[in-house]
Amino acid sequence: MNDPCMVGLDLGTTGAKAGLVSASGRIVATASAGYETSTPRPGWAEQDPAAWWEACCAALRRLMRDGGVEPARVSGIGVSGQMHGSVFLDASEGVIRPCILWCDQRTAPQCDWIMERVSTMDLARWVSNPALPGFTAPKVLWLRQNEAGSYSRVARLLLPKDYINLMLSGVPCTEVSDASGTLMFDVRRREWSREMLDALEIPAEWLPEVGSSVDAIGRVTSRAAEATGLPVGIPVAGGGADNACGAIGMGVTGPGQVAVSIGSSGTVLAPTSEPLVDERMRLHTFCHAAEDTWYLMGVMLSAGLSLRWFRDELGEPEATAAGERGLDTYLLLDETAGSAPPGCEGLVFLPYLTGERTPHADPDARGVLFGLDLTKTRAHVVRSVMEGVVFGLCDSIGLMRELGVPLRMVVAGGGGSRSRLWRGMQADVFGLPITTAGESDSAMLGAALLAGVASGVFGSVEEACGMAVSRGETVEPDPGNARPYKRYYEVFRALYPALKDIFKMQAVPW
């Protein structure tokens, strides 16, 4: 076979994964390398951009060495990356300090400061998103208020994957899907928000040019080629934010479909043909990496993490049996949960183990197991944890329906999509058919498809997905389960308002 291959590179929170992808969507080879996260103080999370580049180079060298593909077949590279991180560069494009990550919580005071200067209505008009600690703009304010020496040296601000693109091509730029998560970008007009920058007193000259995710921003330099093993001169695509690339890798590029991913956290992403904004901004509104498309997204913080908590703290029987039988513990947890009825006869779990984002935006919210009595068994508890995650995801589905977003089918991704029981719960609670994504590394695949468009292998993102994205099994809703799920989802929704003030009473002061 001599068909072209694209390189997809996903810059994740724990490591970089590179893949060679054929024009038909076949994953020819993959390679990965990890890096560490530093936590200098509780709630802080930082990484060294030099460690990213070192890991990317190691993964790419291994990929090109062991992938069995002639360099002449490689048409281009696309990068997907973790969102919101702040890479501060000096006038020589040197890194000034470690990157403050998306999960870093230090900037709550800066978010309060933003809300004192900018109204909720202005946030909706200017950037279409709320002021949250994870976003980039509050990190700039934190630097100004806490590290004046570093702040005085800043000449350029980049996002994580854009730093990798700079190292690959020598070109400092970004694209619309990643810029959307900075709280400095006008999502409607697809350009930096002059109003927001002025209000926060952030220099516009620090921000790079914004292009399309499928534009070729430059070409792999000879220096980068030597470091990575990539062919010199191949196009570097603009790339995309991890959620946008993941949706492309799942084939979710236009209205009607929704991507639901259960990893440690959970996301619900629905493409739209125009920028829709929830007035209360419980959902995020971002530009998609697909051309002329936006998306709404809800985020829950402890999705798969809730089941992992149960496995680690209360799952010893399943873990022991799994070890004896050579099975995955999660498979046996599925079996245990499957023996309890839908709705768990009134046992309801709130999955707010690390607070919650959508729809409550409440860091003080906590997990609750409600409805325990002497009839409840271990199976009820495991199943209630899984159902609580689905109810949390359904909150985002409901908000999207309120905004008139057409939802016809869900494509499930993340580790949770491997559980047929969990997929069935989603189908029944959402009232929608659930189809699995054909490729688990959807962000890496999506980045590779963007490279395919940038290098001319495909004419558009839609064409790339049509040719290269596959789907797995579809689970249809079971009408017999609708009644118990409807009843106990109403209980689930009533619990947070009833407990909100109590959550704040028990919050641990930092």
- Tokens 């700079």 belong to residue: 166
Q: DSSP assignment of 406-472, as one string?
A: -EEEEEEESGGGG-HHHHHHHHHHHTS-EEEES-S-HHHHHHHHHHHHHTTSSSSHHHHHHHH--EE
In a domain, 270, yes or no: no
* 403 and 456 part of one domain: no
Residues 86, 88, 93, 94, CA torsion sign? negative
Using one digit for the tens of pLDDT, what is the confidence trace for 97-123?
999 999 888 999 999 999 999 999 999
CA-nearest of 268, 259, 208, 281 to 396 is 268
**Domain total in the chain:** 2
Active site residue 242: yes
Longest dimension (CA), the chain: 69
394-395-399 Cα angle (round to 5): 110
- Tokens 């997907």 belong to residue: 80
* 456 and 407 part of one domain: no
Beta strands in 24-180 (DSSP E): 27-34, 46-47, 74-81, 87-89, 99-100, 156-158, 173-175
pLDDT exceeds cutoff 80 at 2: no
Contact between residue 352 and residue 334 where contact means Cβ atoms under 8 Å apart = no
In a domain, 284, yes or no: no
pLDDT exceeds cutoff 50 at 510: no
Using one digit for the tens of pLDDT, what is the confidence trace for 364-377?
899 999 999 999 99
In a domain, 76, yes or no: yes
Using one digit for the tens of pLDDT, what is the confidence trace for 328-369?
999 999 999 999 999 999 999 999 998 899 999 888 899 999
17, 271, 474 from 468: Cα distances, Å: 19, 19, 19
Report how far residue 289's alpha carbon sits from residue 174's, in angstroms, rounded to the nearest whole number.
Answer: 12
CA-nearest of 72, 35, 26, 69 to 54 is 35
Report how far residue 345's alpha carbon sits from residue 337's, in angstroms, rounded to the nearest whole number.
Answer: 13
* 227 and 366 part of one domain: no
Structural domain range at position 342? 304-436+473-503
In a domain, 266, yes or no: no
Percent share of the chain, pLDDT over 90: 92
Tokens of 172: 């400092």
Cα torsion at 486, 487, 493, 496 (round to 10°)? -150
Instruction: Compute the mean pLDDT over every residue in the chain, rounded to the nearest whole number.
Output: 95
Using one digit for the tens of pLDDT, what is the confidence trace for 133-154?
889 999 999 999 999 999 999 9
In a domain, 240, yes or no: yes
CA-nearest of 241, 377, 391, 239 to 314 is 377
Rg of the chain (C-alpha set): 23
Report how far residue 269's alpha carbon sits from residue 254's, in angstroms, rounded to the nearest whole number.
Answer: 11
In a domain, 263, yes or no: no
* 311 and 359 part of one domain: yes
* 242 and 316 part of one domain: no
Bridge partners, 31 (sequence order): 18
Write down the catalytic residue from 104, 162, 178, 242: 242
* 107 and 147 part of one domain: yes
Using one digit for the tens of pLDDT, what is the confidence trace for 401-428?
999 999 999 999 988 999 999 999 999 9
Tokens of 476: 């249809």
Using one digit for the tens of pLDDT, what is the confidence trace for 39-58?
999 889 999 999 999 999 99
For 209-217, what is the mean pLDDT? 97
Assign 62 a pLDDT band (cuts: 50, 70, 90): very high
In a domain, 228, yes or no: yes
* 338 and 361 part of one domain: yes
Assign residue 113 the CATH number of its domain: 3.30.420.40
Contact between residue 339 and residue 380 where contact means Cβ atoms under 8 Å apart = no
Which of the 8 DSSP states describes residue 477? -
In a domain, 286, yes or no: no
* 138 and 116 part of one domain: yes
Contact between residue 449 and residue 6 where contact means Cβ atoms under 8 Å apart = yes
pLDDT exceeds cutoff 50 at 23: yes
The helix/strand/coil state of 386 is: helix
* 171 and 232 part of one domain: yes
* 145 and 221 part of one domain: yes
Assign 508 a pLDDT band (cuts: 50, 70, 90): low
* 241 and 378 part of one domain: no
> CA neighbours within 13 Å on the CB side: how many for 86?
28
Cα torsion at 49, 54, 57, 58 (round to 10°)? -140
- Tell me what pLDDT residue 499 has: 97
* 450 and 361 part of one domain: no
